[in-house]
Structure 1
Amino acid sequence: MTRTALVTGVVGGIGAAIARQLVDAGYDVRVTDMPGTALDDAAGALGLPAYPADLGHRDSVAEMVAALPARPDILVNAAGGVRGQTGRPLVEVSEEDWRAIFAANVDSAFFLAQSCAPAMAERGWGRIVTISSGAGLRPSLTGIQAYTSAKHALVGLTKQLSLEFGPQGVTVNSVAPGFVRSNPATERQWDAMGADGQRALLSRIHTRRLGRPEDIAQAVGFLCSDAAEWISGQILSVDGGVT
């Protein structure tokens, strides 16, 4: 029986690379992201069926999951990001901006787990992988207070879900990428560092190179496999040795 997978956030480079990795591994993959032409284009490039949803809202997630042919065996939460924000002094951050980043990074993972994890538990097998960040383990290079807070919260949610669903054969892990130039936001961050900042960042990476979306996707593929069946509640840093 072919296992099914749902990958979120495929408009970004990391999410798209994860979807390709899981297809290559033989899974039946569906993808989701915000409704619009960006999702249509990404799904078309991948050759995969798309199920649009605003993942920061419980009802939208529930409707999207209900539209799938079946509840997925594998859920990869690659949606998130900085929502177009940049680092600002604390007093300048609005409530709306704070909540937007939590909705994208934490609420989405929580609502998706609510919709998908119980069916995995009933079947006695499942994989949930969240994409956190080095910002979930230490202060963020972005300087965005909400982003590092949300990624820390996502790490906590990952560990809690592992405790809850591990007895039913569902593993829950997170991949914490280092700096990967995978979307317009990370390109802006890279450019804003300037030549000196870029050199300084590379000097802290043991392998002396930035990450690629494929580096993250390969780690996710392993955590979704049968080879990782006794790995749960873990945060795997994929960052070239920074951590």
Structure 2
Amino acid sequence: MSEAGLRIRFSDVGKAYRRRHLKSFLLKDILRGLAREEDETDKFWALRHVDFEVREGEMVAVLGQNGSGKSTTLSLVAGASHPTEGRVSVRGRVAPMLALGVGFEPDMTAPENAYVNASLLGVSREELSERLEVILRFAELGDFVDTPVRHFSTGMTARLGFAVAMHVDADILLVDEVLAVGDGAFQTKCLARIRELHAECRTMMFVTHDLAAAREICTRGIWIRDGEIAIDAPIEECLTEYQAYLDAKG
């Protein structure tokens, strides 16, 4: 397939974690553990043999039950973890909305944290200055704008993180169950912003259990089951298959 417009590629990707940890700190036991070949039974494969491509402008819902490998997939795209096997290729600036507000400095104000957060996403201070007013207005912080973040509610912190990520001109947005941030009016505003980004040909991967939101936002679905892709199809087909699976499980 053509490389033009390619944003994300997973090639036979696997991600494994150790099931158990070394309990003995005696030198002889540590050396024995280092000398022993790693036993496959020690591994838990969160993902295995995963292949897919995502192109510019695609809005992809990543579906599956808890523990299926959805969030692991997004963490690999974000570069927060690395594959145990296979290859992950990502082209473009990535804005991960995986744990909004994590990493904010509690003694800094909203504008100060916005500058730090944006710099971690590769945005210059000059670029952020041009968008700061829009970001703060979007976050709906009211009189708390110049208050240290430690005094924010969880929702306020999440709204600020969402607002920054949504306004940094990222090529790829990674959204993990964050559209529950705020009240109904704020969620409506978030959806409107996502539609604007779609119109600008941005790419998004959206992990969610909300099938109605997936239908509204996305054009394609990837259903992950037990660490492997069960179906990769247009959103309606994917949702129909996934819902049938859930219904059958009761």
TM-score norm. by structure 1 comes to 0.33
| Larger RCO (CA under 8 A, 6+ residues apart) | 2
TM-score norm. by structure 2 comes to 0.32
